Structure formats: C-alpha cells, structure tokens
C-alpha cells in the first residue's frame, strides 16, 4: 500500500522528484550500495491477480536487475535511468512473456523494494529479501 504521508513526486512539496509519478513510500536512508544486490522475492499485483515474482539485482548503482514473473509469464531487465535519494527510475525491457517494456518507479531500502508503473495503471510489485 502506498504511503499517504509522502507528497506526490514531482510536486512542489517533493522537490527533486520525478514529475508524473505517484506517491511512494520513502525510506530515511536509501542504500545505493551492495546491500541491495542479490535475490528478492515478492508479489506482482495487477487487476487480474497477484503472482509470485523474483527480482535479481546484479548491480546497485547504477541499478541493473532482472525480474521474473513465472505465473504471468514475464521476464524483463531493469536498468536505472535516474535516481533521487531512495527513488530510482528504471527502464524495463521485456526479454520474454506477456508484459510491456516501460518505465517504473522503484523505492529501495535495505530490506524491501516497492515498485509501481507511473502511467496510472494499477500495477505494483513488492519485494523482500530472500
């Protein structure tokens, strides 16, 4: 669930963020180092269901990752385009399956990752370590 306390990104109340993106939970101390590298497991939530998802981060800064959603199916690479604190704008490039190449907004912490599509779709993904 989105943090209702966070100001809309790209608004006057959230300087330095990306215009056009919705509010996301913002951690106090974002990691931009090897603490985020490795495997993450979570769920991909779309209007027609929720699917298990795996995110493998190979590089922290700039962020390089791969997401696999076997039940969808979908596999895409994610590459950092820009960063403001804990918020990373990534480009998803589909490798296979029924998903779209597009831009995502990811919020990173040492223990969780939350991502959403900025285009107004009700698609989100949340990951935890492990």
pLDDT at 25 over 70: no
How far is C-alpha 106 from the chain's CA centre?
Answer: 3
Residues 40/107, Cβ–Cβ less than 8 Å: no
pTM of the model: 0.73
Express each pLDDT in 56-75 by its tens digit: 999 988 999 999 999 889 99
Question: Is it the case that residue 8 has pLDDT exceeding 90?
Answer: no
Q: Given phi > 0 = left and psi -120 to 50 = alpha, else beta, which region is 81?
A: alpha
Check residue 56 and give its pLDDT. Answer: 96
Express as a percent the part of the chain with pLDDT over 70.
Answer: 71
Domain map (residue ranges) of the chain: 34-129
Query: pLDDT tens, 87-114?
Result: 899 999 999 998 888 899 988 887 888 8
CATH class in words for 34-129? mainly beta
Average pLDDT, the chain: 78
């Amino acid at each position: 669930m989105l943090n209702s306390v966070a100001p809309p990104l790209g608004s006057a109340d959230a300087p330095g963020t990306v215009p056009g993106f919705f509010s996301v939970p913002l951690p106090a101390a974002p990691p931009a180092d090897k603490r985020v590298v490795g495997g993450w497991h979570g769920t991909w939530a779309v209007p027609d269901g929720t699917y298990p998802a795996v995110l493998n981060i190979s590089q922290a800064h700039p962020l390089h990752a791969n997401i696999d959603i076997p039940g969808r199916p979908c596999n895409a690479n994610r590459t950092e385009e820009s960063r403001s604190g804990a918020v990373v704008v990534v480009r998803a490039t589909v490798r296979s399956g029924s998903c779209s190449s597009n831009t995502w907004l990811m919020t990173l912490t040492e223990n969780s990752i939350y991502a959403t599509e900025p285009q107004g779709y009700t698609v989100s993904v949340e990951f935890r370590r492990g």
